Structure 1
Amino acid sequence: MKLTNINKSFGDNHVLQDISLDFPEHKTTVMVGPSGSGKSTILRSLNLLGMPDSGHYDFDDFHLDFSQKITNKQKLAVRRSTGMVFQDYNLFPNHTVLGNVIEGPTQVLKQPREQAIATAKDLLNKVGLSGYEKHYPNQLSGGQAQRVAIARALAMHPKYILLDEPTSALDPELEQEVLRVLLQLAHEKQSMVVVTHNMIFAQRVANKIIFVEHGQILYDGDPKEFFSPDNPNERIRKFIASMTMKNL
């Protein structure tokens, strides 16, 4: 998965400025940076929920030129391989937990219902929610709802899971429920791209760190060097100190 020379503007705001990034398969890439830096815009570009103004996107056999019209067929093909998990869950409120997880496999992938149900139960067990199949979203805690959202994404058998601040709406105890699941997926070599403000989690899970600020990539590389107190980039050292409250 690779982006090359990506640009995106909203009016006069040049949100992404000629950025180029690659996201290794079977690894966890973590994007960090201040709010409004462009992290979520990059993530949404990978799922084609947001369309850059120019640049190129290579993913498996697909090569997309954002200066040209992207067809619905191309969008669908990319989205089938990239499961998206949002910070506000986006569960269907009128569906049970089981109904939410089987919706994509039965409606999009055209799986037999019995097969989709069996897979959904396995995934719910994986995220620690076995026995919650008949619950509705309004009966769940935030941590439970987010774990259902992760199970729903996994049910589509995506090559990559894209997670946009998956725990930002949760209190610390519920946040840990979700982070444990993501750590397990990382250990299983599930390809993931995660936008987060949680530096402790980023340090534990990342195979690669990307630091974004003002629509530019200020760091793209090894997590150990990024988190090192000897990192030569003063801006990054200050950012980590502020996010971990070491400068209080």
Structure 2
Amino acid sequence: MQVKHLNKAYGNKQVLKDVSVEFPAGQTTVLIGPSGSGKSTILRSLNLLVTPDNGTFDFNDHHVDFSQPISRKEMLEIRKDTGMVFQEYNLFPNKTVLGNVIEGPTQVLKQDKATAIKNAHEWLKKVGLDDKANAYPNELSGGQAQRVAIARAMAMEPEYLLLDEPTSALDPELELSVLKVLLALAKEQQSMVIVTHNMMFAQKVADKIVFVEDGEILYDGEAQAFFDRENQTPRMRQFIDSIMMADL
């Protein structure tokens, strides 16, 4: 999966400026940067929730030229292979946990219900919530709801899992429960692209770091090198130190 020469403006605000990034299969790419830097816009472009003004997107057999109209068929095909998890859980409040997880596979993938239920239980076990299968979203904690959202996305068998600040609304203890699930997926070499402000988590989970500021890529490379202080530019060091409160 890769994007080339993405540009995106909202009115007079240029959000992306000639952005080109590759997202390797079987690896976890973490997008970091200050608030409003454009990292979420890049992520959402991968699921076509945001349409850049121009540039290209290549994913498997799909080649999207953003300067041209995108067909609904191609959009749906790309979204089927790119599961999205937001900071808001977006669970259906009138459906049980199990009902939420099987909704996509039965309605979009056209799986038979028995298969969808079997797979849903497997994913709920992986996120530690199979005992909550018959509960409703309002009976869950924030961390539990987010883990259900991850199970729901993975039940769609996406090639890439895209996560937009999935723990930013959670307190630290609940955040940890979600991060453990994502770390387990990374160890299984699930292809993931994650936007996060949690540098400790990024350091543990990332194969690749993309540092975005003011709509431009300031770093695109191996995570280990990014966190090695000898390799850091003054701006990279300043950002990491501020997020990790090194000067407090």
Per the TM superposition, whether the score is higher than 0.5 is: yes
Describe the SS at the equivalent of 1:131. helix
Whole-Å separation in 1 of the counterparts to 2:223 and 2:120: 34
Structure 1 residue ranges, 4+ long, deviating more than 2 angstroms after superposition? none
Shift of 1:228: 1.4
- Equivalent in the alignment of 1:134: 134
TM-score between both structures, scaled by the size of structure 1: 0.99
Shift of 1:229: 1.7
Per-residue CA shift, 1:89-148, capped at 9, x if unaligned? Answer: 111111110000000000000000010000000100000001111111110000000000
Describe the SS at the equivalent of 2:219. strand
CA RMSD of aligned residues (A): 0.6
Whole-Å separation in 1 of the counterparts to 2:52 and 2:229: 35
Whole-Å separation in 1 of the counterparts to 2:208 and 2:17: 21
Shift of 1:209: 0.2
TM-score between both structures, scaled by the size of structure 2: 0.99
Describe the SS at the equivalent of 1:230. helix
Which stretches in structure 1 are left out of the alignment for 5+ residues? none
1:72-87 correspondence to structure 2 within 5 Å: 72-87=72-87
- Equivalent in the alignment of 1:214: 214
Describe the SS at the equivalent of 2:131. coil
Report if the CA contact (8 A) 1:231-1:237 is conserved. no
Shift of 1:241: 0.1
- Equivalent in the alignment of 2:99: 99
- Equivalent in the alignment of 2:239: 239
Shift of 1:67: 0.3
Whole-Å separation in 1 of the counterparts to 2:26 and 2:223: 16
Describe the SS at the equivalent of 1:105. helix
Moved more, 223-232 or 78-87: 223-232
- Equivalent in the alignment of 2:43: 43
Describe the SS at the equivalent of 1:239. helix
Per-residue CA shift, 1:168-201, capped at 9, x if unaligned? Answer: 0000000000000000000000000000000000
- Equivalent in the alignment of 1:19: 19
Whole-Å separation in 2 of the counterparts to 1:232 and 1:173: 31
1:21-170 correspondence to structure 2 within 5 Å: 21-170=21-170
Whole-Å separation in 2 of the counterparts to 1:23 and 1:231: 22
Which stretches in structure 2 are left out of the alignment for 5+ residues? none
